[in-house]
Amino acid sequence: MQNIVSVQYKQTGESKSTNSYGMREMQERAFEYRDAQYLLIKSPPASGKSRALMFIGLDKLVNQGIKKVIVAVPERAIGSSFAKTNLKEFGFFANWKPNDKYNLCTPGGDGSKSKVQAFHNFMDNHEQLLICTHATLRFACEELDEKKFDNTLLAIDEFHHVSADAENRLGDLLRDIMRKSSAHIVAMTGSFFRGDSVPILLPEDEEKFTKVTYNYYEQLNGYDYLKSLGIGYHFYQGKYTNAIMEILDTDKKPFCIFQMSTLANLPKTSTMKLILF
Residues 199-245 have pLDDT tens digits of 777 889 889 999 999 988 888 777 777 777 777 777 777 777 777 77
Are the CB atoms for 41 and 30 separated by under 8 Å? yes
Domain residues for 9?
5-14+222-276
Residue 19 covered by a domain = no
266 and 155 both lie in a single domain: no
| Number of domains within the chain | 2
Which residue, 171, 200, 218, sits at the end of a domain?
A: 218
pLDDT, residue 224, reads: 72
Sequence-ordered alpha helix ranges (H) in 47-88: 49-63
pLDDT digits (tens, 9 = 90+) for 104-161: 998 765 567 899 999 999 999 999 999 999 999 999 999 899 999 999 999 999 887 7
Sequence-ordered alpha helix ranges (H) in the chain: 25-31, 49-63, 112-124, 134-141, 169-180, 203-206, 216-221, 240-247, 260-263
121 and 227 both lie in a single domain: no
133 and 255 both lie in a single domain: no
**Angle of CA points 33, 37, 38, to nearest 5°:** 85
Residue 129 covered by a domain = yes
Are the CB atoms for 134 and 171 separated by under 8 Å? no
166 and 179 both lie in a single domain: yes
Q: pTM to 2 decimals? A: 0.80
Residue 20 covered by a domain = no
Return the closest-CA partner of residue 73 out of 152, 143, 161: 161
pLDDT digits (tens, 9 = 90+) for 86-114: 999 999 999 999 999 999 998 765 567 89
Return the closest-CA partner of residue 266 out of 8, 11, 81: 11
**Alpha-carbon span 27 to 55, nearest angstrom:** 8
Residue at 21: amino acid letter: Y
